[in-house]
Chains A and B, each alone.
Chain A
Amino acid sequence: MKRASRNALQFYLLLLLTLLVCAFLIVPVLLSMLAGVTENFFVGLSSGFTLRWVMAVWETYEPTIWRSIVIALACLVVTALVGVPLAYMLARYRGGNSRLARLLEELLMMPVAVPGLATALALIMAYGQYRAFRGSLLFILVGHVLFTLPFMVRPVLAVMQSSQLALLEEAAASLGAGYWQRFCGVVIPNAMPGILAGALMVTTLSIGEFNITWMLHTPLTMTLPVGLADSYASMRLEVGSAYTLIFLFMIIPLLIAMQWVTQTTQARVRL
């Protein structure tokens, strides 16, 4: 009896802690969403709701939003085209258990393990003198691809390792399928859950990337997160909030899709 009541007490204390942590994470998000549609946040909600700030953001920062979408999609295409074949190589080379494959995977992870600032500086020092490249969106795309590539390769590799790819391919080969036919007809369809998970991950990360982009951007290649930093530093709180609101609405569908993919395919997606 005493023990049961103590367990109940423990449960409620832990629940309270969990709710507090949740409040810590969510309350600022809600506040910023509210501030983005409030006439004057300092006065409070009584000043009335407005879409003025959202419109203001749209007028000033519209190009950054389109740019971020374009870069994220381009990044997705490049990482898929380059990353899926690489994952295939890592899964199949010497039966998928070679030191070389592990070393490659390790190397590929480096742009994530090393701060984005270092990667960005390295890119600037090496390619900064090519003005046209330096000032184009391509320069930013390169940074994003380096950073997001492992997030495409790893889920695809995980799926390939868990499906008996070698066996399936052998069956296809015995029926007369060539390399290309096997890659498109067996490998790709089998790896699809991993590709889907990786694709969502890459897009989300690319839309939110700041550490590398901040050093690489020029006024003409400003992306959404760079614009956010700019608005936080130089605009009133309501404008920064409205801009954040737009950003949240862009990533929410991606997050929901990610949740859905993880639940339906059981592929582990991790940020």
Chain B
Amino acid sequence: MKTRRRGSNRHLWFCAAPAMTLFAAFWLLPMLRLVGVGASGPSGAMAYLAVLSNRHYLDSLVSTLLLSLTVTLVTLAIAAVVGLFLQRNRFPGKSLLMAMLTFPLAFPGVVVGFMVIMLAGRQGLIGALTDKLFGQSLVFAYSLAGLFLGYVYFSIPRVILTVMAAAEKLDPSLEEAARSLGANGLRVFADVVLPALTPALISSGAICFATSMGAFGTAFTLATKIDVLPMAIYNEFTSYANFSMAAALSIVLGLITWLALALARSLSGSSVPAAA
């Protein structure tokens, strides 16, 4: 019996071998190498602290963090309300609405950037409308505000889906109980619904935060001079050929996003995937 089990485990290792080899050769080893390259510049391993000590990188880091946090909070607020509403109400045209809300899920960052240009760019809708109404066209696509709009655009469909899936599992009798005890709608929402949705909000918020920190396509489409960390890494690498600094910064960025996701997972329970 014992030998048979060992035999079947060996067979399982054989199944995992191709994927593990691929992963080790093309991700794990290159990543270790990248850590080494990051410490190979003139300042050695101190390069990893440059994010904090160098004014320019610190500014990029702070504006990226602030941008990602704002995007996360705004997205969560909007998507929680809309997701709950969609889960709880039936009305004609709902499935069409759902299809439209989830359509942008598959857009890459570059396309999202282009959508922002369509809305708030030089020939955009907002510009045309404000020009008609106030005689002056409002154009903000090519700045941090445009990036904010893009990341919210990108994140809303994901969070709506997560909220809907979580709201589906809510026990309606809890809310009825709260209501029968005299709680009004707002109290029920704050004390019963929101706590039940919290794990889903934390996990989808973390994914939203991590993508906003590391995404690059949207910023790239809007303007290469937007000062966020991924753009700073890109410029170090291509414009200044400062490979060690680019490596150090991307390791720091990777650590931040990984930590955010890991933290969210431990807060919201192990059933939540690392990223979705």
Give A270 to B99 CA distance when docked, in angstroms: 14
**Known contacts A210-B108, A225-B108, A229-B221; A115/B19 CB under 8 A:** no
* CB–CB A104/B16 < 8 A: yes
Asked whether B109 is an interface residue with its Cβ less than 8 Å from the other chain, the reply is yes
Q: How far is the CB of A71 from chain B (nearest CB, A)?
A: 14
* CB–CB A25/B153 < 8 A: yes
Q: How far is the CB of B140 from chain A (nearest CB, A)?
A: 14
* CB–CB A15/B85 < 8 A: yes
Q: Is the interface of B mostly helix, strand, loop or mixed?
A: helix
* CB–CB A25/B156 < 8 A: yes
* CB–CB B78/A21 < 8 A: yes
Chain A contacts of B119 at CB under 8 A? 24, 27-28, 31
B21's closest neighbor in chain A, by CB? A82
Which residues of A4-43 are within 8 A (CB) of B?
10-11, 14-15, 17-19, 21-22, 24-29, 31-32, 35, 41-42
A41's closest neighbor in chain B, by CB? B123
* CB–CB A82/B22 < 8 A: yes
Asked whether A119 is an interface residue with its Cβ less than 8 Å from the other chain, the reply is yes
Chain B contacts of A121 at CB under 8 A? 34, 233, 237, 246-247, 250
* CB–CB B214/A117 < 8 A: yes
B-side interface residues, number (CB < 8 Å)? 81
Q: Pick the contact of B123 from A114, A125, A237 — CB < 8 Å?
A: A237
Give A125 to B221 CA distance when docked, in angstroms: 25
Q: Pick the contact of A18 from B28, B85, B125, B234 — CB < 8 Å?
A: B85
* CB–CB A115/B254 < 8 A: yes
B231's closest neighbor in chain A, by CB? A117
Give A125 to B241 CA distance when docked, in angstroms: 12
Asked whether B215 is an interface residue with its Cβ less than 8 Å from the other chain, the reply is yes
Asked whether A168 is an interface residue with its Cβ less than 8 Å from the other chain, the reply is no
Chain A contacts of B250 at CB under 8 A? 115, 117-118, 121
* CB–CB A115/B215 < 8 A: yes
* CB–CB A208/B274 < 8 A: no
Asked whether A67 is an interface residue with its Cβ less than 8 Å from the other chain, the reply is no
Give A81 to B21 CA distance when docked, in angstroms: 13
Chain A contacts of B12 at CB under 8 A? 88-89, 92-93
* CB–CB B216/A113 < 8 A: no
Proximity string of chain B (248-272) to chain A, C-beta cutoff 8 Å, 1 when within and 0 when not? 0011011001100100000000000
Give A27 to B129 CA distance when docked, in angstroms: 14
Give A229 to B112 CA distance when docked, in angstroms: 11
Q: How far is the CB of A234 from chain B (nearest CB, A)?
A: 12
A107's closest neighbor in chain B, by CB? B23
* CB–CB A116/B214 < 8 A: yes
A residues in contact (CB < 8 Å) with B: 10-11, 14-15, 17-19, 21-22, 24-29, 31-32, 35, 41-42, 81-83, 85-86, 88-90, 92-94, 104, 106-119, 121-123, 125-127, 142, 145-146, 149, 153-154, 179, 204-205, 208-211, 214-215, 225, 228-229, 232-233, 237, 240-241, 244, 247, 251, 254-255, 259, 270-271
Q: A116-B214, A119-B27, A119-B31 given; name 5 further pairs at CB < 8 Å.
A: A14-B82, A86-B15, A113-B210, A259-B99, A271-B106
8 smallest beta-carbon distances between A and B, as pairs: A115-B214, A126-B30, A122-B30, A85-B15, A208-B108, A114-B254, A86-B19, A118-B250
Q: List 15 A-B contacts (CB under 8 A).
A: A10-B185, A14-B82, A25-B157, A35-B118, A86-B16, A93-B16, A118-B34, A121-B237, A122-B27, A122-B31, A123-B30, A126-B30, A208-B111, A210-B217, A229-B217
